[in-house]
Amino acid sequence: MKVRNAAILPGFLLSVAVAVLAKLLASLLPSIGAASIAICIGIILGNTICKNERFEKGTKFSESKLLEFSVALLGLTVTFQTIGRLGWSGLSYILLMMTSVIIFAYLVGRRLGFTEEMSLMIAGGNAVCGSSAIGAIAPAIHGQDRDKGQAIVLINLLGTILMFVLPLLGVQVLGFSDLENSALTGGVLQSVGQVVASSSLINPTVTQYAMLFKITRILFLVAVVVLFETFINRKRTSQVSSDEGGTNRLASLPWYILVFLALCCANSFVALPSFLGSGSTFVSSWFEITALAAIGLRLDLKKFLQEGSKFLWYMGLIGAFQMILAISLIFLLSIG
């Protein structure tokens, strides 16, 4: 055990150091956010001076385990009551957005030649909550670490671009309606940090309501993981010969999804101390940034760039689809 811990330590400490640096730089560049900065620094270091096998075990531990803990702690930041505050039109908007984005991203991904697992991770990441959703989905569908890392990089790149585009687009198309702009940013952007940064460029009221839309999307994380796991298991079962088949048993949910659900239920129906919510947000944020730093450190930039044109097409098509769909639904459902 001591030998194993010693092997993990160099890569883990490097991931933490990159996360700390990203947080410091994010305080100077709040519009970009620590997540994107951590991935970028990680990619640069991981493909230059820190490209060393002694970091492998520690960065792998940081990438997988810390992201799992981050997802679990999200349960203390959301409640089922959020859905009621949005009303039927707001809930319908979220459900239609999520369903449409998942179907579109999956079909386009397969059309472009990406694997089943990669397409599902990008679909779920865009529809729910970015890196955290991908971290939750990957083990459930047996996604490869390489695909998970590339999906997270793609999601964060797209989110960073949309973070600046959406406030400009929203004001031009929707005017200065607080609720409509909240639905646009909260219903499209992937991470909580991106939602806060983007909506705050308009006004604090938009930020407040955008978080309602965003939190409601996070509440559906468990459902998305279960549906994706069922889908991938059925696909694999159908490919197995009838002699082996007959039983299509759903694998047990990962522990962190069960913890997420349990904490969400507790937070919804029990008056928990306020410090638990703020504390879990703080710890979850650090876990996520450290995991993203590790993902950057582990990403092979040469292999990633070899598929660059496909990634750019995929990113562009998903981003355009989300913006057009969101604005169409906002008008159709009379949100605002």
Mind listing the pLDDT tens digit for each residue in 278-311? Answer: 888 888 889 988 988 888 888 777 767 776 788 8
List the chain domain ranges. 79-287+301-332
Q: Is 174 helix (H, G, I), strand (E, B) or coil?
A: helix
| Residue 76 identity | L
Helix pair angle (145-174, 308-332), 10° resolution: 40
Q: How far apart are the first and last CA of the chain?
A: 57
Low-confidence spans in the chain with pLDDT less than 50:
1-3, 241-251
| pLDDT (tens digit per residue) in 79-100 | 888 777 788 899 999 999 999 9
Buried b (16+ CB within 10 A) or exposed e, 32-67: bbbbbbbbbbbbebbbeebeeeebebbbbbbbbbbb
Cα angle 268, 101, 106 (rounded to 5 degrees) comes to 115
Rg of the chain (C-alpha set): 20
pLDDT of residue 307: 65
Tell me, yes or no, if the pTM score tops 0.85.
no
pLDDT value, residue 79: 81
**pLDDT given for residue 5 in this prediction:** 67
Cβ distance 335 to 179 under 8 Å? yes
Helix or strand (DSSP H, E) at 108: helix 81-111
What pLDDT shows up at residue 242? 40
